[in-house]
Amino acid sequence: MTSFLTPAGRAVALAGLLLLSIDTATAQAVASDRAACERGYKPHSGQEGKDVVWVPTPDEVVQRMLQVVKVTPNDVVYDLGAGDGKIAIAAAKLGARAVGIEYNPDMARLAQCFVEAEKLAGKARIVRGDVFESDFREASVVTMYLLPHLNLKLLPKLLKDLKPGTRIVSHAFDMGDWKAEETVVVAGKTIYRWTIPAPGTPAYAAAMAAASKL
């Protein structure tokens, strides 16, 4: 049986095809631009860094990390140890303003190139810096994929600099005796979430006590 579309129906169908072709062309352009970013420098999983080796966080873990801390367009997300920028990019795609801090200058340049390839330069940026010396006081969300001793070393700065209520999420590693408020396992990877407590509270004292055990 032959079916016929009305003129209005044909217009809707053509519009849908046009949008699909635009989306496909955009995706291809982004892929091409990202490939161009890697022509000068292409990192490999396990390469040595300042304090850690670089291992990229799986995409599904990135998405769940941002879900656990309920990232919204009202948030300012700082990714400490940004690597190739994928967490900052994912946060920007959710509408948040995102900043990644990366010590390796080659990696920082690559990550910023990826940001620009994704047309997110107005929402995300990657800066070269040391997370222990950088200013991220404006953050409402902090994401991390460091190591246990680095988490604890960073904890006093987090408690001192961040506003009460700031959400923290860590991939794979906890913060010792400062127990996470939520723990989630995704694809065999563990995600931990905390909230910065107000100074003078028992929760703040417990966090500071955990930091002192480094």
Task: Give residue 19's domain range.
Answer: 1-37
DSSP, residue by residue, 22-51: HHHHHHHHHHHHHHHHTTT----TTEE-SS
* Residues 39, 77, 170: CA angle, nearest 5 degrees: 85
Residues of the chain falling short of pLDDT 70: 1-32
Q: Are residues 25 and 56 in the same domain?
A: no
Q: Kindly report the CATH number assigned to the domain that includes residue 158.
A: 3.40.50.150
| Confidence (pTM) | 0.85
113 and 63 share a domain?
Answer: yes
Are residue 63 and residue 128 in the same domain, yes or no? Answer: yes
Q: Which of 154, 19, 177 is nearest to 78 (CA)?
A: 154
Would you state the pLDDT for residue 49? 86
* DSSP element (H, E) containing 99: strand 97-102
Cβ atoms within 10 Å, residue 16 = 10
Q: Could you tell me if 86 and 169 lie in one domain?
A: yes
Total domains present in the chain: 2
DSSP 178-214: B--SEEEEETTEEEEEEEPPPTTSHHHHHHHHHHTT-
Note the pLDDT of residue 10: 52
Give pLDDT, residue 58: 96
Q: What is the pLDDT of residue 50?
A: 85
Give Cα 134 to chain centroid, integer Å.
17
141 and 120 belong to one structural domain: yes
Q: Do 23 and 100 share a domain, yes or no? A: no
Question: Do both 56 and 21 map to the same domain?
Answer: no
Whether 42 maps to a domain, the answer reads no
For residues 30 and 67, state if they share a domain. Answer: no
148 and 51 assigned to the same domain: yes
